[in-house]
Structure 1
């Protein structure tokens, strides 16, 4: 048995300034990559040992990609042959102590000279515990794998029941949240319904498969332009997706989704893509937190501290152009990480730091084959094939590692010509806590 008390972070002592980075997302890796050299000791702490490209999680969930094609091991990225005095530890940070200048983990404390918080976001259920218990989030690789297993278990069970009511509940899919994740997940399911499922399950009438997209605001893709929202709504409706705007899900018990106003949808699958909140860490004073994120100045310094920084989705930097903070996408994290590495080098030399200025490179969302929308700099709005090609190019280039770029691109090319999703595997049966019906099924058919 593993004795946690016998573990420690085991970071070597150093006379160099120690930079501790919490989080291996886009912000964290861009800082670490550019602190390469002999000036700093860099320690990265994360509770997963890989960097993931989360905008493609929905393709893992809908059997389009395997998880290792959108993730790269952090130790591979920062191997000792490439980075001097870099140390990664697979551990969760429980809290920070700004007075003692330490971070606290389950296996011990670690002093720092400079602390960078790049923890990103987590799913926001807005206090609805019933939804939290029964819905499927889509923020991590395990979430995507759970959803993938669940989807194909629903299809398998739909092929084995003659009960029309039960089959309908297995073939009703509710996606909550009309942002990019919700729109892209709905589109992927619609393409599966049209091109893949009727061949795999010839005994099931997939014209009865309903895909609901529920959005609380008056349009889909609220962060994007009204023009892109209108195009997206038309694409979704043309694909047979039932879009419900100005609608809120009040409850979900695992079998019935209740929409505010009384409408009920019988479904065994509700995907929650309705919002995120900052993944805050205990220890910072309350005045350093605003709108659920860590308030920082134009140098990404946490308010009140000159040696603690926050970057990416967790950072709230209010400017005249961005009064509500920067958008929760990869580009602010990448740009802040790059600049912060330069500013740390300036800081130790006693030089003046440079203020952060976000360069907006645009927003993209894909709905289906040849159907996407793009809001680009210069007030350029694209839709259809050209937006789709732009989305493909941008997402391939954003992946970390040549192998991942090659694997994802080859998968997409293969699917374009064959309409095939090649990873329709139930690797591990998934059962929600408290789901006695699914548990009885798994046990009865000896699926574990």
Structure 2
């Protein structure tokens, strides 16, 4: 194994303006696609070597899709860009005075810096929950959660202790936004159609799926009408909804709420909030509630050559006083728009301010159950919204191969209700759970 001091970023010199992009999400990818290769050198720095389609992470976690079907190698996306350079590394800090980005293997000078780091799970300072709960922000999170769920079902099938079995089968989801709602619906359908076939000796009426939120309705970002439809869909699927409810602590065994209620559960999924993945180096006043303050050109407050796009940026306006929603569309549109403005700068043309076109919001609850908020304050629900959800997600999925694989999986599941990825490749073991460690050790011993 090479030592860090033996590694170098090895980025070729250039006479073209160098655009350094931190991150490989929707904003970063769409910015790079729209920067002319002959006019700019693009250096992308990311601690992941793939671009993932995060709206489908919950389907990986519930064994509906393979991890590789919702991700595409970043190098493959830009293999026709001759002056694009991807470096698989973690960024430590930014030095705006020296115009450099510091990584674990060296510094990168820039002409223009674009921060497109997205978000991270927000545990609101609760280290115990952070240690024991399952996030759902990356492929590794989805794979860990899938392993945890499948292991819990296997262990529940083996135990004779009713209390232990209920603890293994209880699943608590904190956060009733799109991620929480879609995960709850997927688990409920799995409980109804898949698990009874896999474990014919188990009574899955003992399996409880709890969806918890501190606000007074599910899907708070969407319209009240969509929330009402979603609440009804979830109740028909048997999901237990607890609103105006706050998780206080979780030790890996018991979820405790602020009102004193407790639920014994081996699995708490944390979908209760996100924070911008900011980087050290920029002044504190450039950050508000974990996001960089930017103007209508996506320039970070106080800088002309440092930009932030997507979830990590907050661009306030009369229509969006708290900034744009932290979903894919603002990142995509800001990436495209910033590329056009950088080209305008080379030509000496005047920059154009960014204007967000809200294409609406979608959420799926299960088979033929979905909701959609469309422009013009129109809403759809049921089968039509479900078809719209399928079409939109296939359309924005990166890579023709991935589109085919995901579509084939969905068609197969539509007719059979089966999920073909119910395999435990890498057992998940919480470092604090001694019983789980012993169970995995016994199962994997040679």
TM-score, normalised to structure 1, is 0.99
Secondary structure at 1:213 match in 2: strand
Distance 1:37 1:113 in 2: 16
Distance 2:102 2:363 in 1: 39
Alignment of structure 1 residues 243-254 onto 2, 5 Å:
243-254=241-252
Distance 1:32 1:186 in 2: 35
CA deviation vs aligned residue, 1:384-430 (integer Å, no higher than 9, x gap):
00000000000010100111111101100000000000100000111
The residue aligned with 2:306 is: 308
Asked if structure 2 preserves the Cα contact closer than 8 Å seen for 1:175 and 1:182, the reply is yes
Cα RMSD (Å) = 0.8
Residue 203 of structure 1 deviates from its aligned partner by 1.3
Q: Could you list the runs of 5+ residues in structure 2 that have no partner in the other structure?
A: none
CA deviation vs aligned residue, 1:327-365 (integer Å, no higher than 9, x gap):
001000000000100100111222210100000000000
1:156 aligns with 2:160: no
The residue aligned with 1:287 is: 285
Matched residue count: 446
The residue aligned with 1:65 is: 65
Asked if structure 2 preserves the Cα contact closer than 8 Å seen for 1:296 and 1:316, the reply is yes
Asked if structure 1 preserves the Cα contact closer than 8 Å seen for 2:37 and 2:84, the reply is no
Alignment of structure 1 residues 422-437 onto 2, 5 Å:
422-437=420-435
Residue 443 of structure 1 deviates from its aligned partner by 1.4
The residue aligned with 1:334 is: 332
Structure 1 residue runs of 4+, over 3 Å off?
Answer: none
Asked if structure 2 preserves the Cα contact closer than 8 Å seen for 1:177 and 1:273, the reply is yes
The residue aligned with 2:385 is: 387
Distance 2:245 2:331 in 1: 32
Distance 2:98 2:28 in 1: 23
Q: Give 1:415's match in structure 2, choosing from 413, 416, 421.
A: 413
Secondary structure at 1:136 match in 2: coil
Residue 197 of structure 1 deviates from its aligned partner by 0.3
Asked if structure 2 preserves the Cα contact closer than 8 Å seen for 1:114 and 1:308, the reply is yes
Distance 1:42 1:340 in 2: 14
The residue aligned with 2:101 is: 103
Secondary structure at 1:137 match in 2: coil
The residue aligned with 1:218 is: 216
Asked if structure 2 preserves the Cα contact closer than 8 Å seen for 1:429 and 1:447, the reply is no
Distance 2:442 2:75 in 1: 42
Asked if structure 1 preserves the Cα contact closer than 8 Å seen for 2:135 and 2:270, the reply is yes
Alignment of structure 1 residues 164-313 onto 2, 5 Å:
164-313=162-311
Residue 37 of structure 1 deviates from its aligned partner by 2.4
TM-score, normalised to structure 2, is 0.99
Secondary structure at 2:226 match in 1: helix
Distance 2:202 2:129 in 1: 29
Secondary structure at 2:444 match in 1: coil
1:145 aligns with 2:143: yes
Distance 2:445 2:18 in 1: 49
The residue aligned with 2:437 is: 439
Secondary structure at 2:183 match in 1: helix
Asked if structure 2 preserves the Cα contact closer than 8 Å seen for 1:36 and 1:84, the reply is no
Distance 1:444 1:287 in 2: 53
Residue 442 of structure 1 deviates from its aligned partner by 1.1
Distance 2:345 2:294 in 1: 17
Distance 1:233 1:141 in 2: 28
CA deviation vs aligned residue, 1:76-98 (integer Å, no higher than 9, x gap):
0011xx11211000001110000
Distance 2:442 2:73 in 1: 38
1:119 aligns with 2:117: yes
Residue 260 of structure 1 deviates from its aligned partner by 1.3
Distance 1:312 1:446 in 2: 42
Residue 445 of structure 1 deviates from its aligned partner by 2.7
Asked if structure 1 preserves the Cα contact closer than 8 Å seen for 2:412 and 2:418, the reply is yes
Distance 1:347 1:251 in 2: 51
The residue aligned with 1:74 is: 74
Distance 1:305 1:346 in 2: 18
The residue aligned with 2:87 is: 89
Residue 447 of structure 1 deviates from its aligned partner by 5.8
Secondary structure at 1:218 match in 2: coil
Q: Could you list the runs of 5+ residues in structure 1 that have no partner in the other structure?
A: none
Alignment of structure 1 residues 127-142 onto 2, 5 Å:
127-142=125-140
Secondary structure at 2:379 match in 1: strand
CA deviation vs aligned residue, 1:54-74 (integer Å, no higher than 9, x gap):
000000000000011000000
Distance 1:433 1:292 in 2: 29
Change (3 A) 1:356 1:423: same
